[in-house]
Structure 1
Amino acid sequence: MGAKIKDILYNIIFKTDTRTGKAFDVILILVIFCNSILIILESVDIIRESYGTLINFLGWSFIFIFTVEYILRLFVVKNKIKYLLSFFGMIDLLSIIPIYFIFFFPGMRFLVIVRVFRLLRMFNIFKMGRYITESRYLLSALRASIPKITVFVVTIIFIIIIVGSAMYIIEGPQNDFDNIPISMYWTVVTVSTVGYGDISPQTSVGKFISGILMIVGYGIIAVPTGIISHELAHTSKSEKEQKICQSCFTETDTLNDRFCSKCGSKFADS
């Protein structure tokens, strides 16, 4: 009888292709979403002061639900150690552990924000693992772009140091450019086209350099974008010469294969 109950609970909690499993996932998504909204609202002082009792009640209710869910997952799963050490197992644990530390360390209340990580459970619920293949393209492009991006960053650092030093000499402390680090900070803000306005050049030469730096800033934004876009297009073209199983993500160099050699699933384009 006990084994049968465990099987039923396992199908509800871990299976998404059954009616009860889908219902469980929908409820879990709503609870996770409401929990995240509650954490966001709790950070607003006026809301926390006005509805503190309700927020605490709802917060503990969510913690109770997550705790029961975690215990049930641990109870029905066959390989408990594998679940405990798995990515989602760690996320499930981290979503409930910090709140219990508050009993012993009240000053660690900020750790409740860790509950937001529970949103990652949606990747599993929505089967978003299928997009891992697409993310591999991006990671490959980023790795291939590292040498060019490094040269680009070093060049920007040289520009910041040189222009920052020049602006310190041109503007000086009388115009709030008190030292070279502050002048370098102004250069970073200007070249990134953010322009906070807390420091601004007053001399004609300083304004001229500022204008040139702003124009350069627009070009700087385009450079890394172009580098990564080029590498991403090149990586995608290379990867298309391979077939990747959407079930286990195994690659094959044989374009004529219709089925995955590891799990036997049929390729999408076959």
Structure 2
Amino acid sequence: MAARTLTARAALLGLFNHVGYTLERLKAHALGAPHLTLFETIRTEGLQILTQELQIAHAQVGAQAQIDIADDQLDDFASRLSKEVLTLTDDNREHSLYLHFFRKKTLSEFKRPVLRAQLASMRGWIQSLTESEHPSLRALAPELTALIQEADAAVTARDSARQTNRIFRDTGDRSQWVDRLNAARKETHGALSKLPHERIGLPTDFADRFFYRGPKREDHEEEEETVESMQEHIEALREQLEAAEARLAELEAAEAEARKVAETHAAHVARLADIERAAAALEKERAAVRKQIAATAST
């Protein structure tokens, strides 16, 4: 049995289990010596990848913190603006001034999204505040302008951190390291699997023994959950979710196209009915005119 291909989506610490296990098995057997350097190199590179992953994770957490800070600041500003507008409108939430800023939403509903729609709405407030006839509202425009700039910067940093992580995991250094690990596993397993055919006394599963298959347990023993196993489980679920979302997009596109075709067909049918009604009216009018011509000719 060939060494299985490890998924690049697996938790990095879980992948290190495979590297460390094979290294120890290679060290323990004289026939493993030729492959030690390869796996030592893989381990050294993997430690560098782990450092990168920690740095990227730190950048993502930091970016999310800035998102939350910006969201809190905008929420606080929205609360103060709501209070100021209600003061101007005598607590009338149906007043056009209040509806201009908050529409039909309560303050808590308006503040619920973390940036996104809230940020888009509040960006439009800058002009409204700047051009307001009320001095107390005009005075808030510079503060909101600064808050929007900070929020935009936080969104940009968050998106950049996410994109860096996607590249790192999907096609970048992390993915390339997993490819090299899999190549090393395949190469080493292939070389070791030849030995039982060349040396008497080696078991047929000799090559398999050098590769980690997970902790052995009794049939009745439940597998212990670890951070690594849960991370692997989450990554597997994420792959399924991404596949499901892609399929959903395909179905939605097909449904939209079918709806468009149906609407076009219905429009054509309606147009045809209009034409047929017009044609019937013309035919009736033509028959009447012919009848009048015939009556005139006979007199």
**Is the TM-score greater than 0.5?**
no
Higher helix share: 2
What TM-score do you get using the length of structure 1 for normalisation? 0.29
Q: RCO higher in 1 or 2 (8 Å CA, sep ≥ 6)?
A: 2
